[in-house]
């Protein structure tokens, strides 16, 4: 959710900036963008698609998450000179570190997990179990490695959509926002300006 908000905000601000400058909004030219799709596909089938996510054992889900993070890191490294990419790389490294240190799942405490469960539903979480079909694994802070890098933050109670996120997620979102705000005028617009001068 936090990533989606950063994409929407980045494009919106980028469009507004381009409009004020009198140019055409254009997302910066990315190298090997197809790698993002390849990185996301395992997560889509393992965590998001209801028809398939129940078929994957926890070990395979953990492995696919690590592979996805590595592929995203490769993509980010190839585009490291673009605005926001260094923040994104740091965020990916932090997430990969805590996921790898805790057996391939993003740690979330029982307390935080309880806040995400609809009110009225009581679920006695067991340490080590996967939280639903997502990437999170329930771990008490005392046994969590790099606990401060896990999914330990949640939006205020008044926010309509509750989801846990990590420091790494915040940095990734900030990097994506800066990347999308960094609007580059299209070539046609540049040539048009040169002719008018």
pLDDT tens digit string along 21-31? 888 888 889 99
Give mean pLDDT, residues 4-12. 92
Q: For the chain, give the DSSP string.
A: -HHHHHHHHHHHHHHHHHHHHTS---PPPPSSTHHHHHHHHHHIIIII-HHHHTTS-HHHHHHHHHHHHHHHHHHHHHTTTSTTHHHHHHHHHHHHHHHHHTTTSEEE-HHHHHHHSPTT------TT-B-TTSSEEE--GGG-TTGGGSS-B---TTSSS---B-HHHHHHHHHHHHHHHS----HHHHHHHHHH-
- What integer pLDDT is reported at residue 85 of this predicted model? 96
The predicted-structure confidence for 49-101, as pLDDT tens digits, reads as follows 888 888 888 888 899 999 999 999 999 999 999 999 999 999 999 999 999 99
- What integer pLDDT is reported at residue 92 of this predicted model? 98
pLDDT band at 39 (very low <50, low <70, confident <90, very high): very high
Give mean pLDDT, residues 167-194. 74
- What integer pLDDT is reported at residue 132 of this predicted model? 82
- What integer pLDDT is reported at residue 36 of this predicted model? 95
Asked if the model's pLDDT at residue 186 lies above 50, the reply is no
Q: What is the pTM of this model?
A: 0.86
Give mean pLDDT, residues 171-181. 96
- What integer pLDDT is reported at residue 50 of this predicted model? 82
pLDDT band at 120 (very low <50, low <70, confident <90, very high): low
């Amino acid at each position: 959710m936090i990533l989606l908000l950063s994409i929407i905000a980045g494009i919106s601000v980028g469009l507004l900036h381009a409009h004020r400058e009198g140019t055409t909004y254009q997302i910066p030219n990315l190298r090997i963008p197809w790698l993002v799709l390849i990185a996301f596909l395992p997560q889509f089938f393992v965590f998001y698609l209801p028809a398939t996510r129940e078929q994957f054992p926890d070990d395979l889900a953990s492995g696919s998450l690590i592979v996805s993070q590595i592929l995203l890191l490769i993509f980010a490294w190839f585009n490291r000179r673009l605005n926001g990419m260094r923040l994104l790389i740091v965020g990916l490294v932090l997430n990969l570190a805590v996921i790898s240190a805790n057996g391939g799942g993003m740690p979330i405490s029982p307390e935080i997990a309880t806040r995400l469960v609809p009110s009225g539903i009581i679920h006695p979480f067991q340490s080590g179990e996967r939280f639903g079909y997502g990437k999170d694994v329930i771990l008490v802070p005392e046994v969590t490695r790099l606990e401060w890098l896990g999914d330990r933050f949640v939006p205020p109670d008044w926010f309509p959509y509750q989801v846990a996120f990590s420091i790494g997620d915040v940095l990734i979102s900030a990097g994506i926002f800066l990347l999308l705000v960094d609007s580059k005028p299209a070539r046609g617009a540049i040539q048009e300006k040169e002719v008018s001068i």
